[in-house]
Amino acid sequence: MSRVVAALAAGLALAVMTTGCGAAGQPDAPVAAQEATDHAAADLVDPVAFHEDMRSLWTDHVMWTRLYIVSAVADLPDLDATAGRLLQNQDDIGSAMATFYGDEAGAALTELLREHILVAADLVTAAKAGDAAAVSTHSDRWYANADEIAEFLAAANPAWPVETLRHMMRGHLDQTLAEATARLSGDWAADITEYDRIYRHILNMADALADGIVAQFPERFAG
C-alpha cells in the first residue's frame, strides 16, 4: 500500500488566487478581486456534464473489454488494435482522476487499471486453452487487483467507503467473468444478458464515483 499512500500524499494542488495591493502598475484590490472571481467562475465544471463524462469513460471500459473478449475468443485479426484501445481507456480514466488528485495519483490509478486489463487478458487466454491451474492463478491476481483499486480510491475520497468499492469492483469482475464464460461456451443469449448487466452496473459505479468527487470538491463545480 506504500505506493498508494505516496501517490495520494501528493494530493491536488489547488490554485490560490490573490488580490492586488494597489501598488503602482497594479490593479486596485476591488478590480483584482473581481478578475479572480470571473476567472474562477470560468473554470467551474458543470456537474451534469461531469457525470456524463464519467459515464462515458466507464462505459468505454466495459465496451472495449467486451470487444476484446469477442476478438480473443474468435482469434480475430483486430485483437492487438482492440487491446491497444482498451488500454488507452485506462490512461484516459487515470488522466481524468489526475485533474482532481494530481498527476502522481492519476498515474498510479492508471497502472492499477492497466494491470486489471492485462490480468483479464491472461485469464481469458488461460480459459480458452482449458488451463485450469492458470485460470485459478490469474483469477486470484485479478480479484486482488480489484481490491487494491478499491482501497486506492477509498483512500482518496471519504465519500467512497472501501467496502462499497470492493463490492462494486468484485461485482464488475464477476459479471465480466460470466460474460467471457458465456462467450467461450457459445451461449450467445447469456453473453448478451451478462453484457447488459455489466453496462447497467458500470453506470451506477460511474455515478457513485462522480458523486463522490462533486461532494469532495464542491468549489470546482457550478451550481
Question: Each residue of 12-23: pLDDT tens digit?
Answer: 333 322 233 344
Which pLDDT band, with edges at 50, 70 and 90, does 223 fall under? confident
Q: What is the pLDDT of residue 42?
A: 53
Q: Which of 16-30, 31-45, 57-71, 170-184 has the lowest mean pLDDT?
A: 16-30
Q: Which of 31-35, 90-94, 130-134, 189-193 has the lowest mean pLDDT?
A: 31-35
Region 107-131 average pLDDT: 97
Q: What is the pLDDT of residue 202?
A: 98
Per the structure block, which three cell numbers stand in for 11?
Answer: 494530493
Percent of the chain whose pLDDT exceeds 70: 81
Region 46-65 average pLDDT: 97
Per the structure block, which three cell numbers stand in for 73?
Answer: 475468443
Which pLDDT band, with edges at 50, 70 and 90, does 69 fall under? very high
Q: Where are the beta strands (DSSP E) in the chain?
A: none
CB-based contact 215:159 (threshold 8 Å): yes
Q: What is the pLDDT of residue 6?
A: 39
Per the structure block, which three cell numbers stand in for 2?
Answer: 506504500
Region 185-212 average pLDDT: 98
Q: What angle do CA 136, 153, 56 make, to 5 degrees?
A: 90
Q: What is the pLDDT of residue 43?
A: 82
CB-based contact 206:154 (threshold 8 Å): no
CA distance 32 to 22: 9
Residue 211 has pLDDT above 60, yes or no: yes
pLDDT tens by residue, 72-108: 999 999 999 999 999 999 999 999 999 999 999 999 9
Whole-number mean pLDDT of the chain? 86
Per the structure block, which three cell numbers stand in for 76?
Answer: 480475430
Region 40-49 average pLDDT: 80
Region 214-220 average pLDDT: 96
